[in-house]
Amino acid sequence: MSNLTWVSYKPINDVESPNGYRPGGYHPVRICDQLHDRYTIIDKLGFGSYATVWLAIDHVTDSYVETLRKLHELGSQDQTARGKLLIPPVLDDFTVAGPNGLHPCLVTVPAGISVRDAKDDCLHLYERVFQPSVGRAIIAQLVHAIVFLHSNGVVHGDLHYGNILFQLPESFRNLTLEQYYEKYGCPWEERMERVERRNGQPLPEGVPFYAVIPAPTTVALGQEISFSEAQILLTDFGESYMPQVESRYASGTPKYLHPPELYFSTAEPLSFPADIWALAVAIWGTVGAYELFSTRRVTTDEWIQERVVILGPMPSDWWQKWRTRMIWFDERGAMRGESKFKGWAELFDFCIQRPREELGIPLEEDEKTALEELLRSMLAWKPEEGPTALQVLESEWMRKWALPDLERMDAQLRHSTTEGKGVGEEKPKKINWETFCFEMIEAQIQSFVEVED
């Protein structure tokens, strides 16, 4: 059987697809594996389309690090840029050889859950809405990160709040290994699931015999998140590119985030405006309770129709290119009958204002006006008509509302760091790794391998 043949596996929730373990795909990592003769894997933090993310202890520094199997280049950057603090630093890089090929690895700092998960994991609808000051501080950080990338010639290429992670508290770095497992659970006791084919046949080469569910590193969710937990990192650079070096004509983002030029200006490569469009959608979702655009699967015609209803008439040259427009619209752009999509005003009220009113934190009229003006400018039909990342940073809403809250968050964090410095800190203890790994591997074998008489 070809290694590229799709295999049907028994479903396991909250893990990467076993079909990702193939030549050129994921490298099978096990708890207690040692990478680069330096990093011992102790748990799993997450996974994405191009990488799995594991928590490791660095034998040289005895500190926790995050190992990502992906590679990106950010070039030489200004060390003083505010946005650089929001890009995970690359502490080490190396290559691992395995049954599925060669895998570039990056070592960086650990991070927590995504902004998306912090909203989606809430039990009640209105808990999804962040406190006003926290939401603004998150957005201000994100804009700073995009300004930093764009000023260095990099388009993120997959910008959504599933790729915006909350930083873990400083106390995380001070946990001993025993304290870590006590707090987050032992993976081989609570978060491992056997990988099995539906037909009962043996697993293909290169597929691990168990899957690890990521550690529950959640600090707080939605409304509960405070300034102390609102520091973010922008991650997942698997779709990033430099327009001056590479021409990109396809988007790696989900379809609901595609910029309109992808469909109407196909001869022109994508560039920085594609990030600005996605950034606007992320801002909307961070301020409110719901996404701006439908995230369900839609046809391209439905995709265009929804955006015309929300944003208004598209440029005349693009309008003429849309051959099936007359099914839904007349030549003046008016709908034929009732649309299944909501318009801008109704959506803003439904997604943002009404949930905030229920919580007693509605947008005041002056902030609402400034925010709508910013979002509408970022969602310009033509890419050349929208603002740059720097212009977004300098916009009225950012200057009057978002950036002041970010400054307050930074000041509060500096104050708390100064107050707590040197108090109750404990560095991870030295571990007898030979004994530790023997015990862990034995526990895994007892849990997942049937012993026949």
The structural domains of the chain, ordered by start, are 1-78+88-109+169-216+426-453 (3.30.200.20), 111-168+219-421 (1.10.510.10)
List pLDDT tens digits, range 236-293: 888 999 999 999 999 988 999 999 999 999 999 999 999 999 999 999 999 999 999 9
pTM for the whole structure:
0.83
The CA dihedral of 366, 367, 370, 374, to the nearest 10 degrees, is -170
Structure tokens given for 327: 């099914």
Instruction: Please report, for residues 29, 297, 328, 342, 343, the alpha-carbon distance to residue 338 in angstroms, rounded to integers and kept in the order given.
Output: 53, 21, 9, 10, 11
Percent of the chain with pLDDT over 90: 54
Output the DSSP codes for 34-85: EETTTEEEEEEEEE-SS-EEEEEEETTTTEEEEEE-------S--TT-GGGG
d(CA 58, CA 92): 11
d(CA 138, CA 176): 30
List pLDDT tens digits, range 392-449: 999 999 999 999 999 999 998 887 766 554 444 444 444 454 555 555 555 555 544 4
- pLDDT, residue 436, reads 52
Residues listed for the chain: 453
List pLDDT tens digits, range 286-324: 999 999 999 888 899 999 999 999 999 999 999 999 999
- pLDDT, residue 452, reads 36
Interior/surface letters 274-307, b for 16+ CB within 10 angstroms, e for the rest: bbbbbbbbbbbbbbbbbbbbbeeeeeeeebbbbb
The Cβ-side half-sphere exposure at 9, using a 13 Å CA radius, reads: 24
Other Cβ atoms closer than 10 A to 217? 20
Sign of the Cα torsion 379, 380, 384, 387 reads: negative
